[in-house]
Each structure stands twice: as C-alpha cells, then as structure tokens.
Amino acid sequence: MRIVSETETGIRIRVDDEDDLWTLSKVCTEGAEVGMLTHRRDSTTGTQEGGRSKQAERKPMWIALRVEETSFHPFSDNLRLQGVIVEGPVDIGSYHTHTIEIGSEIEISREGGIGQPDLDLISSAVREGSRPRVGLIVVENDEVLLFEVAKHGIRDISSFNMRGGGKWGKDSTAVRSEFFSRVAREASLVFSSSMPVIICGPGIAREGFETLFREFSMSEKIVNVGTSIGGRAAANEVISDGLADSVLGEYSVIHEVRAIEESLRRVSTDGAVAYGIEEIRSCAEEGAVECLVIDASLIRDPSHKDRWGGIVRLVGENGGEVIQASVDHDAGQQLLGFGRAIALLRWRS
C-alpha cells in the first residue's frame, strides 16, 4: 500500500497487493466516504426518468460513495463496497458499488477525520508493503501440505497424499521418491521465484523433499526447519516458536500469533493477563496493559466501537501497544474464544 496524498479529513492510497484489501476491508466500513475512478451508465440515457439504457456504454467517472456495506473474503483479489453516491457527475443519491482491486487508487475520508485506529492500520500496511508472501511446505512421509503466509493470515493452498505406498507391488522408497518429485515440481510452480519458502516437518522426509524442490524451484531463499508435529499444526509451530525468524520475523501475523500464544500461556499459569471488556477496561485505567490484542473488526463494530474505542485510547495514552489482529489464522480463532480481545499486563491485577 502506498499513500499518494493526505488531507485533514482523508487520505488517498494506491492498492499494491491482496493484503492491502484486508486492511481496507477494516478501514472502509459503514460511514466512510470512498471515492475512485469507476464506470457507470449515464442515467440520462434511459427512456424513463431515472432509468438507464442497457445499451448505453459505461463511462469512466470519479464517484464517491458513503459506504453502507462491505464485502470481502480473506485472500480474495477484490473488495466490494456498496453505498450511496455523494459525489459524481450523475446519479447523486443513487446506489453504486465500488470494486477495489490491486492497482486501484482510492480516496478515503470520514466526517471529522479518519480515526487513529484506521490510521495505525494503514501505516502498518504501508510499512509492510515491500515484503513478499512466504511459501510454507509441511512434509511428512506420505503427505505434503502447501500454505502461503500472508501479512494477516495463513492460506491453505493444496494438499498431496501418497496413496498405496509399497502395497502395490513397488518398492515403497521408489514410490515415495516419485511422489515427492511430482509434488516438488507442482510446488515450484505455485511459489514464485520472489517468494521465500520454508520447508518443515517432524522427520527426515523433508530433507529429501528439499533436494528435489531445489531442482525445480527458482526461489532465492529456502529454509528447512524441523518441527515436533506434522499437518497444519507444524505450520503453526513454525510461526509461534520462531523456527524460521530469518524469513518471517518481521511479519505482522508473527507478532499477532506470538502475543496471543503468550496470552494463552499466561491464562494457563494464572499470569499477568486480562480478558473480558470490564476487566480489560479496569486494567487500562490503572495503566497496567502492556499489550492489547484485539480483533480488528471489534473496534469498528457499531455496537462495540464506542466502548472499545475508549479502552484503545487509554492503552495508547499509558504507553501500551495495541495489536489489531486478524482472525484468519489459528491463533486468531483462539482469540475469538476470549471475547475477541485479550491483554498482556505489566503486573498481575
């Protein structure tokens, strides 16, 4: 994400990748005014007042709408915003839908200015703009899983299972070698040469797979690390235990996951942690909150944002950190079980 220009009430940005769309899905919520160059049929081409001829050509025009509904699915390549047109050459007051994609340039504003949580989220996206996604391959004797680590989550890409093994009259070693060779070739096509790749797993099978993968892949950075378990849990272990920090250490999702994991550890040991809005509010008022991890959607939910907004401000004023977390990874799902927010404390309250 790149900031093109700023004003007192808004900001103009350019969308550089799919992760920027996640950020915008949190920022461009109900009440935001979003303008962009889009296409629309002229209402004056219709035979009835306010109508539009379906044969009329869609014309490019700058339209700003006040957002009423946001539609976005994690790891998709577009964000849809529906609302009422407040600025444009035609159809003021009519409904319109913006489809925001990679390469789109948009202006975002709010009455009274964009809030600090939104500005913080945008700033984070700008800082991380140059970092590529990371490929993660979990290798076991008879299964290989492919994941993509994005800035705000882990996406399942594909899974491969070796069926039959040596039971079909062939040497099991040869079958496994053929299986790994096929998967290595396909994985090399999935992950671009600009993407670092982490190969992990609980046994030595990953070593043989790495050799094959290097034959096909053009990736400039391949890291091989051992885990204590296989499957998706192996991917989570790599992230939470810092097994590949040379590749993943600076990503937002890593910071989020570790803060949540540390919170859960403290919960299990009756440590310095708080959850539940009233307990967190009390700790924030005392200046005890060192880090608040909160679902990014919660502080923008109309039924909760006023209460949580005050807590977020208190934490910041007292020198605490606020992590606006995604729930598009396993640790984020655990955060949901604690009311979508949990706080690491400076001392036990």
**pLDDT tens, residue by residue, 20-50:** 999 999 999 999 999 999 988 766 555 555 4
Domains, the chain, ordered by start? 2-127 (2.30.30.870), 134-248 (3.30.420.60), 271-345 (3.30.1330.30)
Q: What is the mean pLDDT of residues 299-328?
A: 91
Contact status, residue 238 vs residue 139, Cβ threshold 8 Å: no
Taking each helix axis as running N to C, give the angle between helix 277-286 and helix 305-317, from 0 to 180 degrees, rounded to the nearest 10: 30
**pLDDT tens, residue by residue, 66-81:** 999 999 988 788 899 9
Per-residue confidence (pLDDT) for residue 230, from 0 to 100? 93
Structure tokens at 341: 């927010």
- The percent of residues in the chain predicted with pLDDT above 90, rounded, is 66
Q: What H or E segment, with its residue span, contains residue 179? A: helix 172-190
Per-residue confidence (pLDDT) for residue 157, from 0 to 100? 93
> Can you name the residues that pair with 138 across neighbouring β-strands?
145, 200
**pLDDT tens, residue by residue, 110-132:** 988 899 999 999 998 998 877 78
Is the pLDDT confidence value at 341 over 70? yes
With 0-12 / 13-18 / 19 or more C-beta atoms within 10 angstroms meaning exposed / middle / buried, residue 269 is: exposed
Contact status, residue 64 vs residue 91, Cβ threshold 8 Å: no
Q: Are strands 33-40 and 59-71 parallel, antiparallel or unpaired?
A: antiparallel
Amino acid of residue 258:
R
Q: In which order are the strands placed within the sheet that holds 341-345?
A: 273-275, 341-345, 289-295, 321-325
Mean pLDDT of the chain: 89
Per-residue confidence (pLDDT) for residue 55, from 0 to 100? 58
**pLDDT tens, residue by residue, 210-249:** 999 999 998 889 999 999 999 999 999 998 888 888 888 7
Nearest to 114 by CA among 32, 201, 183: 32
Per-residue confidence (pLDDT) for residue 44, from 0 to 100? 58
> Which range, 73-82, 188-197, 317-326, has the best average confidence (pLDDT)?
317-326
Q: At a CB cut-off of 8 Å and minimum separation 6, what does 159 contact?
A: 143, 144, 145, 146
One DSSP character per residue, 156-177 reads EEEEEE--SGGGGSS-HHHHHH
Residue 56: pLDDT band (50, 70, 90) is: low
Per-residue confidence (pLDDT) for residue 67, from 0 to 100? 96
Residue 164: pLDDT band (50, 70, 90) is: low
**pLDDT tens, residue by residue, 236-288:** 999 888 888 888 877 888 889 999 999 999 999 999 999 999 999 999 999 99
Nearest to 218 by CA among 188, 184, 185, 180: 188
